[in-house]
């Protein structure tokens, strides 16, 4: 067996390995170096293929450091078969089309490099990929049925595979890129399902690192995001389009849904958008929980405008960049070296309250690296432009790669006799090799060829296997990511008024979550367990907050002070009381309260509704009238009683213009009006009239009705005519359609009662619209 490393050896980038076995040649991956240094080729060393052209090509996963050179390689080898998993094929299509587009744009610049391949070559390459399922051994080389390959899920990103090769010269296990940690999108690799192999090639990206717990890292990230949003800042997460971006989206959505992050919108931009579509389309390769979410929730996984996760359309981008409202933007590329993320970064970097939040590897040449290593006030180049760094720059590790302990656990399962470390810088691979002193370990460079003679298997020494067991014990814990702990002791419960004051002071025009309210109320003493206490207080929040939904959680938008003044008395309502109800733009009704308010609602029967649970804010006025005796009736019977009563009320002569004139510019409340009216019917009729037409003559502020200025009223010819008739008084002589009549002194909204003075109807009464009456 012979292995030649064309790229991806002692480096991250341009992964490409040639395997020769029993005279047959197989190529694994053909990546590029997306951020190649000056003088460095973006391609693997393809000259090494001249004398030994491969006869088949196998792709581990779609990332550009494994696929970026493939259209070129495939066009140089037009007849060889190409194999990948289905998801890898679809993702590769998105990535390579984007890569062509970028190369063509760069080519237009004066110093731009020549594109490595064109769109036709990409299409031809994609058309040749044969899709293979996971765990289905296939023989990639015609005429060699004894050489088989199997794709095994690698955890890393959608469709990512490890390769297990069985050959007459022994078995080979190639990890590609692996993750053991369960990510939100993809389950970590199943360590128990790993085969033993004679030779193992493993990635070592984080060979000298141990990851902190994923859960802790997510929590720290969420806390930072929340701190930025709370100070009114914006967040840009430059993210690798495939894998990392989807993780961040799901993390932010989850923390926002649980209330730990403010309910501000999330925007997705750059290639991230189309990759999200692929992830959703290939849902069978995702975490089972996400598959269930799609089936049961029937909601999109990523962009979901109803949940305020928006895909930015290119024409909207510029507006969004300049818009300074708190928001979260997730955009590729992850190193700010291209795509849409640099556009956002230029604006965000300059603004103190904003934040650039990195989660992935940064190449030393990239703007992302420069920003992470810069001091406040430094001038940084992003693309063609320079910006002064004023914003917060931070980094969290959401790696999709195994760390050193995890790699060790994998190696101890596979138990190879020969171990080859690739896909990592020399330092990481050197550190990793120290863990395998009892194995024959190689760290090849680009151009290295390793000859591996079939040998008896080297037994793993007892010392190593003990260490291996220890490594097993270090596997990631998969406790629920959002578990909450900490008992609460003797924490005082806030009042609704206190929560409202916090919200009203710090964010009067936006919805708040219960967790945010808790955090503002308790400050640093806030514990997750206090959430239920806060939510208990918020059960009757309708008087102080407008309730909304964001996904599964309730949001609380503080009401204006006058609205609170109006709604607060409603808390004391008792069954048997009469109230007025009026929804938005609906006509007012009289209603009987059946149950005291609870959780911001109460049970009512109204003259036009059946019994229903209604929010407190439909209740408009309290006439102080009670009908407790009706509580024993069936709701249908109550409704009949109310309808009969309503008919009577509608026939009352109530004239709001008289009320307006008497008020003489002074505000009054409905309660004050009621104290001047002894009759219950009349009180109710006044209430109905105020609700039906009051806003045409008064400004309503909470409980107060403030008469509009005379000028404003008199300006309306209909209104001034009505007022003139009132002022003319009882017995005033008028004509209606030229027939003589007198006013009886009864009037209501734009109507007067008249008594005919002549003709066959003389002496009779009639209701006439004020517009049809002329004063003599």
Residues with Cβ within 8 Å of 768's Cβ and at least 6 positions away in sequence, in order, are 736, 741, 751, 752, 753, 754
Nearer Cβ to Zn ion (65/169): 65
Judged on CB neighbours under 10 Å (0-12, 13-18, 19+), 71 is: buried
- The total of other beta-carbon atoms located within 10 Å of residue 7's CB is 29
8 A C-beta contact, residue 360 and residue 369: no
CA atoms in the 13 A half-sphere facing the CB of 125: 31
Provide the mask over 393-422, with x wherever binding to Zn ion is found by CB under 5 A and - wherever it is not.
------------------------------
Instruction: In angstroms, give the least distance from the CB of 220 to Zn ion.
Output: 24
Instruction: In angstroms, give the least distance from the CB of 360 to Zn ion.
Output: 11
- The total of other beta-carbon atoms located within 10 Å of residue 428's CB is 22
Stretch that binds Zn ion, among 57-65, 265-273, 563-571, 605-613 (CB under 5 A): 57-65
8 A C-beta contact, residue 268 and residue 302: yes
Instruction: In angstroms, give the least distance from the CB of 488 to Zn ion.
Output: 43
Compute the 3-state secondary structure of the chain and give helix, strand, coil in percent, each to the nearest 5.
Answer: 40, 20, 40
Judged on CB neighbours under 10 Å (0-12, 13-18, 19+), 501 is: middle
Instruction: In angstroms, give the least distance from the CB of 15 to Zn ion.
Output: 6
Nearer Cβ to Zn ion (63/614): 63
Instruction: In angstroms, give the least distance from the CB of 243 to Zn ion.
Output: 7
Instruction: In angstroms, give the least distance from the CB of 208 to Zn ion.
Output: 17
Nearer Cβ to Zn ion (173/670): 173
Stretch that binds Zn ion, among 59-67, 270-278, 427-435, 477-485 (CB under 5 A): 59-67
With binding defined as CB under 5 A, does residue 363 bind Zn ion? no
Nearer Cβ to Zn ion (44/600): 44
Residues with Cβ within 8 Å of 404's Cβ and at least 6 positions away in sequence, in order, are 206, 207, 208, 209, 210, 431, 432, 435
Q: Kind of pairing, strands 698-701 and 733-736?
A: unpaired
Nearer Cβ to Zn ion (63/253): 63
With binding defined as CB under 5 A, does residue 65 bind Zn ion? yes
Q: How many residues does the chain have?
A: 776
Nearer Cβ to Zn ion (422/578): 422
Instruction: In angstroms, give the least distance from the CB of 351 to Zn ion.
Output: 33
Stretch that binds Zn ion, among 17-25, 56-64, 456-464, 619-627 (CB under 5 A): 56-64
* Owner of token pair 């840009």: 236
Greatest distance between any 2 Cα atoms in the chain: 128
Strand partners, 644: none
Instruction: In angstroms, give the least distance from the CB of 156 to Zn ion.
Output: 5
Instruction: In angstroms, give the least distance from the CB of 63 to Zn ion.
Output: 3
Stretch that binds Zn ion, among 61-69, 187-195, 520-528, 541-549 (CB under 5 A): 61-69
Instruction: In angstroms, give the least distance from the CB of 160 to Zn ion.
Output: 7
Name the helix (H) or strand (E) containing 603.
strand 601-606
Name residues contacting Zn ion, limited to 591-630 (CB under 5 A): none
Provide the mask over 508-527, with x wherever binding to Zn ion is found by CB under 5 A and - wherever it is not.
--------------------
For residue 740, the SS3 value is strand
Instruction: In angstroms, give the least distance from the CB of 159 to Zn ion.
Output: 11
Nearer Cβ to Zn ion (361/698): 361
Residues with Cβ within 8 Å of 255's Cβ and at least 6 positions away in sequence, in order, are 218, 222, 225, 226, 261, 482
With CB under 5 A as the rule, give the number of residues binding Zn ion. Answer: 3
Cα angle 545, 548, 550; round to 5: 135
Instruction: In angstroms, give the least distance from the CB of 42 to Zn ion.
Output: 15
Name the helix (H) or strand (E) containing 556.
strand 553-558
Instruction: In angstroms, give the least distance from the CB of 177 to Zn ion.
Output: 4
Nearer Cβ to Zn ion (33/413): 33
Nearer Cβ to Zn ion (65/93): 65
Nearer Cβ to Zn ion (239/638): 239
Nearer Cβ to Zn ion (63/214): 63
Instruction: In angstroms, give the least distance from the CB of 127 to Zn ion.
Output: 24
What's phi and psi for 235, nearest 5 deg? -125, 130
Name the helix (H) or strand (E) containing 246.
helix 244-257
Nearer Cβ to Zn ion (162/533): 162
Nearer Cβ to Zn ion (157/537): 157
Nearer Cβ to Zn ion (65/607): 65
Nearer Cβ to Zn ion (177/577): 177
Nearer Cβ to Zn ion (352/427): 427
Provide the mask over 157-196, with x wherever binding to Zn ion is found by CB under 5 A and - wherever it is not.
--------------------x-------------------
Name the helix (H) or strand (E) containing 537.
helix 531-537
HEC profile of 13-56: CCCEEEEEECCEEEEECCCCCCCCCCCCCCCCCHHHHCCCCCCE
For residue 199, the SS3 value is strand
8 A C-beta contact, residue 130 and residue 81: yes
Strand partners, 394: 357
Instruction: In angstroms, give the least distance from the CB of 366 to Zn ion.
Output: 16
8 A C-beta contact, residue 199 and residue 416: yes
CA distance linking residue 387 with residue 390, whole number of Å: 9
Instruction: In angstroms, give the least distance from the CB of 60 to Zn ion.
Output: 8
Task: Give the DSSP letter of residue 435.
Answer: G
Task: Give the DSSP letter of residue 355.
Answer: E
With binding defined as CB under 5 A, does residue 63 bind Zn ion? yes
Interface residues with Zn ion (CB under 5 A) are: 63, 65, 177
């Amino acid at each position: 067996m012979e292995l030649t490393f064309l790229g991806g050896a002692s480096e991250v980038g341009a992964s490409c390995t040639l395997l020769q076995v029993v005279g047959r040649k197989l190529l694994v991956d053909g990546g590029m170096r997306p951020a190649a240094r000056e003088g460095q080729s973006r391609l693997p060393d393809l000259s090494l293929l001249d004398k030994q052209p491969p006869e088949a090509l196998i792709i581990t996963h779609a990332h550009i450091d494994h696929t970026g050179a493939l259209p070129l390689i495939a066009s140089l080898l037009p007849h060889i078969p190409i194999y990948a998993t289905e998801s890898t094929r679809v993702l590769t299509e998105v990535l390579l089309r984007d890569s062509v587009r970028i190369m063509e744009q760069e080519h237009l610049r004066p110093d731009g490099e020549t594109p490595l391949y064109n769109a036709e070559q990409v299409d031809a390459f994609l058309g040749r990929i044969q899709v293979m399922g996971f765990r289905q051994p296939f023989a990639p080389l015609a005429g060699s049925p004894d050489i088989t390959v199997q794709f095994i899920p690698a955890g890393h990103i959608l469709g990512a595979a490890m390769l297990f090769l069985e050959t007459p010269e022994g078995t080979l296990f190639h990890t590609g890129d692996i993750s053991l940690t369960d990510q939100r999108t993809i389950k970590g690799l199943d360590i128990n399902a790993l085969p033993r192999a004679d030779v193992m090639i493993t990635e070592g990206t984080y060979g000298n690192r141990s990851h902190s717990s994923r859960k802790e890292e997510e929590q720290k990230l969420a806390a930072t995001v929340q701190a930025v949003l709370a100070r009114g800042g914006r967040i840009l997460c430059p993210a690798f389009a495939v894998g990392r971006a989807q993780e961040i989206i799901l993390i932010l959505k989850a923390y926002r849904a649980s209330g730990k992050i403010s309910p501000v919108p999330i925007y997705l931009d750059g290639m991230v958008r189309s990759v999200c579509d692929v992830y959703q389309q290939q849902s069978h390769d995702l975490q089972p929980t996400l598959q269930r979410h799609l089936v049961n929730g029937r909601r999109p996984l990523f962009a979901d405008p109803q949940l305020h996760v928006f895909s930015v359309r290119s024409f909207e981008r510029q507006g969004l960049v300049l818009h300074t409202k708190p928001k979260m933007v997730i955009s590729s590329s992850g190193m700010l070296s291209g795509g849409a993320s640099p556009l956002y970064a230029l604006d965000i970097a300059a603004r103190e309250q904003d934040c650039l939040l990195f989660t992935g590897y940064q190449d030393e040449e990239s703007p992302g690296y420069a920003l992470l290593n810069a001091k406040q006030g430094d001038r940084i180049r992003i693309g063609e432009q320079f910006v002064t760094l004023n914003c917060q720059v931070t980094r969290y590790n959401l790696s999709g790669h195994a760390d050193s302990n995890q790699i060790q656990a994998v190696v101890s399962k596979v138990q190879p006799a020969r171990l080859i470390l690739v896909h990592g810088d020399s330092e990481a691979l050197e550190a990793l090799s120290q863990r395998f002193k009892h194995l024959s370990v190689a760290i090849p460079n680009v151009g290295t060829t390793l000859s591996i003679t079939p040998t008896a298997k080297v037994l793993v020494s007892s010392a190593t296997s003990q260490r291996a067991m220890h490594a097993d014990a270090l596997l990631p814990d998969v406790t629920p990511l959002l578990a909450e702990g900490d008992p609460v002791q003797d924490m005082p419960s806030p009042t609704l008024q206190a929560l409202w004051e916090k919200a009203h002071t710090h964010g009067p025009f936006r919805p708040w979550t219960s967790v945010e309210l808790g955090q503002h109320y308790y400050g640093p003493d806030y514990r997750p367990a206090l959430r239920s206490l806060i939510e208990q207080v918020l059960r009757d929040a309708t008087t102080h907050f407008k309730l909304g939904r964001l996904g599964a959680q309730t949001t609380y938008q503080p009401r204006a002070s006058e609205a609170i003044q109006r709604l607060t008395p409603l808390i004391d309502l008792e069954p048997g009381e009469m109230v007025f109800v009026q929804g938005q733009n609906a006509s007012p009704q009289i209603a009987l309260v059946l149950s005291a308010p609870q959780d911001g609602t109460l049970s009512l029967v109204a003259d036009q509704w059946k019994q229903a649970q209604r929010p407190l804010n439909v209740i408009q006025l309290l006439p102080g009238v009670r009908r407790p005796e009706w509580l024993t009736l069936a709701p249908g019977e109550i409704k009949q009683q109310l309808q009969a009563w309503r008919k009577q009320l509608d026939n009352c002569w109530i004239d709001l213009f008289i009320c307006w004139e008497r008020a003489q510019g002074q505000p009054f409340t409905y309660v004050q009006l009621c104290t001047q009216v002894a009759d219950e019917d009349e009180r109710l009729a006044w209430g109905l009239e105020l609700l039906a037409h009051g806003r045409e003559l008064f400004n309503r502020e909470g409980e107060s009705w403030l008469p509009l200025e005379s000028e404003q009223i008199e300006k309306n010819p209909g209104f001034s005519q009505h007022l003139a008739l009132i002022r003319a008084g009882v017995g005033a002589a008028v004509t209606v359609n030229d027939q003589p009549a007198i006013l009886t002194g009864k009037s209501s909204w734009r109507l007067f009662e008249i008594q005919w003075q002549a003709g066959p109807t003389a002496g009779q009464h009639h209701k006439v619209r004020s517009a049809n009456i002329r004063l003599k």
